[in-house]
Amino acid sequence: EKEGFDHFMLKEIYEQPRSIRDSMRGRLKAREGIVLLGGIIDYQQKLVNAKRIIIIACGTSWHAGLVGEYLFEELARIPVEVEYASEFRYRNPVIYEDDVVIAISQSGETADTLAAIELAKSKGATIIGVCNVVGSSIARATHAGSYTHAGPEIGVASTKAFTAQVTLLTLMALMLADSKGTISKSRFNQLLHELDDIPGKVEETLKVNDKIIEIATVFKDVRNALYLGRGYNFPVAMEGALKLKEISYIHAEGYPAAEMKHGPIALIDEEMPVVVVATNKGTYEKVVSNIQEVKARKGKIIAIVTEGDETVKALADHIIEVPETEEMLVPLIATIPLQLLSYHIAVMRGCNVDQPRNLAKSVTVE
């Protein structure tokens, strides 16, 4: 059932052009200029009127939630708070009846996420689920929701579920922006077309695999790694670091690039690999200066850049080129090389990639 791949994780990484397409099927109609989310249509008005959205999740799903925060705020102009389910549920949070809570969970069985939902529900909030497993406890506990349709994810390290979650949050944010009138029709249509092209671009991105194997060979024995990104790439950096930690047991930290100078910069020496997600357009110059700060301290830069980039290429030790897309859609592409990097490093270190030590696929304990 691994379909010729050595591990489920690798198979699931390679499935992403299809799984992303599946999560958009019947929902994104780029040619007609329509986003339709049948599962939440009855609650669309609640979302449109929401003064605030609270996203609750754990782990990788929480990272998807962070991308969601940027999307909802930029496109639909709704304030968003992204909460670790475990922190939210134990701190007597302020919840209003007109809050909309979006709970994100691949398994739909995460104990803390489920308990946080019950708490928000008891305060009268509307709960929307973004789950992968059909009929799961979380899917049943929510008022409405949309399944990610990524298909079964067997590898403990979440890969295709993450990109499906981000895809779905993008669709939700676009749908809301359209209903609220916070986006022009032409920009809306442009984004729908660009989203429609993402599966093809992910396919293209997977061709970096050989390059990643080279890079993994160089860095497989390091003890620490730093991942940096700004804006939409900040959650991507955190997700990249989590992937490396959980399957290769290398200590890694994901940081907003500008925060580096407030502490982590002290860690940098000639042994320290710093993975920078540098595809940004808006803050490109800022990312370039962050890279210069690392180079000045002799850190090793592995940079993910947009095809054709020259400036970062001249500074970095290793370059991974990915296809160009809209800044807000970059997480769907830039995440792929980071998944592959952690995968190859883990394999080279002889780790059990699909079932890393101490981890379970669904965390049903609190």
CB of 157 or CB of 169, closer to ligand M6R: 157
Please identify, among the stretches 153-161, 188-196, 318-326, 333-341, the one whose residues bind ligand M6R according to the rule CB under 6 A. Answer: 153-161
Residues numbered 57 to 96 that lie near ligand M6R (CB under 6 A) are: 58-61
User: What are the structure tokens assigned to 37, written together?
Assistant: 């989310």
> Is 361 considered catalytic here?
yes
Residues that contact ligand M6R, how many (by CB under 6 A): 17
* Minimum CB distance to ligand M6R, residue 67 (Å): 14
Alpha-carbon 55 to chain mean position: 14
Q: Is 362 near ligand M6R (CB under 6 A)?
A: yes
* Minimum CB distance to ligand M6R, residue 351 (Å): 14
Please identify, among the stretches 74-82, 86-94, 328-336, 357-365, the one whose residues bind ligand M6R according to the rule CB under 6 A. Answer: 357-365
Q: CA-CA distances (angstroms) from residue 89 to 57, 130, 142? A: 11, 19, 16
* Minimum CB distance to ligand M6R, residue 158 (Å): 4
- Active-site pick, 180, 220, 286, 361: 361
* Minimum CB distance to ligand M6R, residue 153 (Å): 9
Q: How far apart are CA 193 and CA 191, in angstroms?
A: 5
User: What are the structure tokens assigned to 26, written together?
Assistant: 């019947």
Q: Is 354 near ligand M6R (CB under 6 A)?
A: no
Burial class for 187, CB neighbours closer than 10 Å (0-12, 13-18, 19+): exposed
Total residue count of the chain as it appears in this document: 366
CB of 86 or CB of 170, closer to ligand M6R: 86
Sole binder of ligand M6R in the list 157, 277, 328, 351 (CB under 6 A): 157
CB of 319 or CB of 340, closer to ligand M6R: 340
Burial class for 238, CB neighbours closer than 10 Å (0-12, 13-18, 19+): buried
Q: Is 158 near ligand M6R (CB under 6 A)?
A: yes
Please identify, among the stretches 2-10, 48-56, 154-162, 277-285, the one whose residues bind ligand M6R according to the rule CB under 6 A. Answer: 154-162
Q: Is 142 near ligand M6R (CB under 6 A)?
A: no
Q: Which residue is nearest to ligand M6R (CB)?
A: 59
Sequence-ordered list of residues with C-beta below 8 angstroms from that of 151, at least 6 positions apart, any chain? 15, 19, 22, 160
CB of 61 or CB of 205, closer to ligand M6R: 61
Closest to 288 in 3D by CA, of 303, 300, 273, 266: 303
Q: Print the binding letters for residues 97-136 with ligand M6R: x by CB under 6 A, - otherwise.
A: --------xxx--x--x-----------------------
Please identify, among the stretches 93-101, 289-297, 342-350, 356-364, the one whose residues bind ligand M6R according to the rule CB under 6 A. Answer: 356-364
Residues numbered 240 to 299 that lie near ligand M6R (CB under 6 A) are: 242, 246
Neighbour count for residue 96 (Cβ, 10 Å) = 12
CB of 113 or CB of 306, closer to ligand M6R: 113
Neighbour count for residue 364 (Cβ, 10 Å) = 13
Residues that bind ligand M6R (CB under 6 A): 58-61, 105-107, 110, 113, 156-158, 242, 246, 359, 362-363
Positions annotated as catalytic residues are 361
